[in-house]
Amino acid sequence: MADTRTTCPYCGVGCGVLASADGTVRGDPEHPANRGRLCSKGTALGETLDQPGRLLHPEVDGKRASWDTALDAVAEGFRKALADHGPQGTALYVSGQLLTEDYYAANKLAKGFLGTGNIDSNSRLCMASAVAGHRRAFGEDLVPGLYEDLELADLVVLVGSNLAWCHPILFQRLQAARAARPAMRLVVIDPRRTASCEGADLHLPIAPGRDVALFNTLLRHLHAQGFRSDAPGLDATLAAADGETGLDPALLATFLDWFAATPRAVTLFSQGANQSSAGTDKANAIINCHLLAGRIGQPGAGPFSITGQPNAMGGREVGALATTLAGHLDWDRPGEATALRDYWDAPNLAAGPGLKAVDLFRAAGEGRIGALWVMATNPAISLPDAGRVREALRRTPCLVASDCTRESDTLDLARIRLPALGWGEKDGTVTNSERVISRQRAFRPAPGEARPDWWAIAQVAARLGWSGPFAWTGPAAIFREHAALTGLARPAPRAFDLSGLSDLTDAEYAALPPVRWPVPRRGTEGGRLTPTARFTPTPYRPPANPTGAAYPLALLTGRLRDQWHTMTRTGPVPRLMAHSPEPTAAIHPADAPDLADGSLARIESPWGEATLRLRHEPGMARGTVFVPMHWTARFAPAARINASVNPAVDPVSGQPELKHTPIRLAPA
């Protein structure tokens, strides 16, 4: 059976996959991200293809319906919301699981034609702080480096990243480079002693939220060592560089000295940094140090944000966050919104940013959203303070959910359910964390009546009177429109440019090999970027909701090695479930002297509670508890942790503080 060249749908590494219709899956040796390797999740992709529980037909009010009936109902729901509330009473909540073409269509409908900025992505939970940090430092959301910089570096610093579990192929590349060059050093900065600490040269068990203090300390150290920079903002940034790290002074001094003495240094940061009420400052504090040391845009040197989802980057490119416009255009820059309005012929273009995820569901809970379309994500489980989000969804008069699975807590609450294509059935592009655009290709027929998300969006747009701007013949046509948009004359130079891909024929799009942006002309490909950057002051702020006598422990949530999001795809695969068959709460033994290892414990916070088995783990930082984020009603209803997570957000990025909620423990 012939292999189809496609891309793994799980994480932001974006590994190439060779797949066949019988479910045989192997790594693509020609893909630059993985060179033939796959991790445990990627290897098991074939076992996720024929799962029960697919949503196969549209449903309206709990009954099977035709596509025409369902699409009419969606259009009617949005029409009524526009009449009752105006554009701000409509919203879309989308996902880093969408392909770029689906994302583009959703953003165009919301911002261009519904006239609302209220389209946000679950990427808000993942890397919105990195986006905001890039925009403050570089004027644009760009990742300067390449994966090979991890192999070329003499020092790799992981901040809030369990790379070994969450981006395993990158970790394997890093470990292979260390085996070849034993002098290369690895430093892990994390409250937990994770799998990424195995073999690391240094682990700094920082308390949750203190990363800004650490990188402010490093900035001051670099300056004291004589590092200087012409980039603007240094004096104010140094003046604001405060905060105590709380780390062992000897460990801290080792890190400071190693960083100062190593020109080829990469700092890779991920959700442990981003998911914080100071997440944007963390990104900027890291970038500030690389700027001052001149370690950016060089082989083996730079700050490196790694994304969680397969197409978080694609969503950023098409503006599917409430705070951005398509093509990296921006409301704040003169002329850019006008240029987009003209390009789309969209007189109703949203006048400004919309509601970010946490605020969006708060507005729904207050009855301010009349119609909400959720695509490929499960906010009833994944948002902080999830009990309140569930009530908000229940309260929304027209809740539409597009998904490939029928077994989702959000779908249970939806009035209209639309069957979407899954991996192996849909067709489009994704962009990984090093800016490489790869094709996801279909290699299996669509089950039941499942259809592409972009098609459903275009059908609804047509019913609302906007057929022309959505009359695409397929994903290739959408990609051409998206690529051409990035070449619009813009007042300031931008790195994000796909002009060289804007005239691909359908056949060229079908055969498109992985290509890294910027692509300003045909046949070119992007490399390392050296952005014009500025320093950003990052005064230290503690977490928004501190621990105290009533709630003395800090809850951190995160991923397991073999599970994905709310387990819809990975949960039913026995060999993936075998890695961690039950959700547990990890705690340092000294923090739970009265609760035995293996006992059931109730986690209580001011927002909610959950019940899990306690696991004593000496590698946990004192005062912290780690709980995996994945479990849903389908697999372990009492362990749905996000109902207990506080809804505090970063004031710049709007990213929730998933890495610090005050809690207490009690016997269950």
Residues in the site for ligand SF4, rule: CB under 6 A?
8, 10-11, 13-15, 34, 38-39, 41-42, 167-169
Ordered alpha helix ranges (H), 197-278 = 211-224, 234-239, 249-261, 271-274
Which is nearer to ligand SF4, 436 or 512 (by Cβ)?
436
Least distance to ligand SF4, CB of residue 569, Å: 11
In this structure, what are the phi and psi dihedrals at residue 238, rounded to the nearest 5 degrees? -65, -40
Pairing of strands 398-403, 371-375: parallel
Which is nearer to ligand SF4, 405 or 433 (by Cβ)?
433
Distance of CA 414 to the CA centre of its chain: 24
Least distance to ligand SF4, CB of residue 542, Å: 33
Which is nearer to ligand SF4, 10 or 631 (by Cβ)?
10
Residue position matching structure tokens 């140094």: 238
- What is the Cα–Cα distance from 423 to 453, expressed in whole angstroms? 13
The tokens describing 533, both together, are 């950057």
- What is the Cα–Cα distance from 656 to 334, expressed in whole angstroms? 30
Q: With b meaning 16 or more CB within 10 Å and e meaning fewer, what string describes 137-175?
A: bbbbbbbbbbbebbbbbbbbbbbbbbbbbbbbbbbbbbb
Least distance to ligand SF4, CB of residue 481, Å: 27
Least distance to ligand SF4, CB of residue 636, Å: 23
Least distance to ligand SF4, CB of residue 198, Å: 17
Which is nearer to ligand SF4, 31 or 295 (by Cβ)?
31
Least distance to ligand SF4, CB of residue 82, Å: 39
Burial (CB count within 10 angstroms: exposed 0-12, middle 13-18, buried 19+), residue 617? middle
Task: Tell me which DSSP letter residue 195 carries.
Answer: G
Q: In the bound complex, which residue of the shown chain has the CB atom lying closest to ligand SF4?
A: 42
- What is the Cα–Cα distance from 264 to 428, expressed in whole angstroms? 36
Which is nearer to ligand SF4, 4 or 599 (by Cβ)?
4
- What is the Cα–Cα distance from 440 to 442, expressed in whole angstroms? 7
- What is the Cα–Cα distance from 570 to 132, expressed in whole angstroms? 31
Which is nearer to ligand SF4, 437 or 612 (by Cβ)?
437
Which is nearer to ligand SF4, 171 or 509 (by Cβ)?
171
Torsion, CA 564, CA 565, CA 568, CA 574, rounded to 10: 30
Ordered alpha helix ranges (H), 536-606 = 574-577
Least distance to ligand SF4, CB of residue 147, Å: 11
Torsion, CA 15, CA 19, CA 24, CA 29, rounded to 10: -50
Least distance to ligand SF4, CB of residue 628, Å: 16
Q: Is 141 helix (H, G, I), strand (E, B) or coil?
A: coil
Least distance to ligand SF4, CB of residue 42, Å: 3
Residue type at 32 in one-letter notation: P
Task: Tell me which DSSP letter residue 615 carries.
Answer: E
The tokens describing 137, both together, are 């430092």
* Angle ∠(436,445,315) on CA atoms, nearest 5: 30
Which is nearer to ligand SF4, 432 or 644 (by Cβ)?
432
Least distance to ligand SF4, CB of residue 562, Å: 10
Which is nearer to ligand SF4, 15 or 567 (by Cβ)?
15
Which is nearer to ligand SF4, 10 or 215 (by Cβ)?
10
Given CA atoms 419, 449, 57, 25 in this order, what sign does their dihedral have? negative
Least distance to ligand SF4, CB of residue 168, Å: 5
Which is nearer to ligand SF4, 167 or 664 (by Cβ)?
167
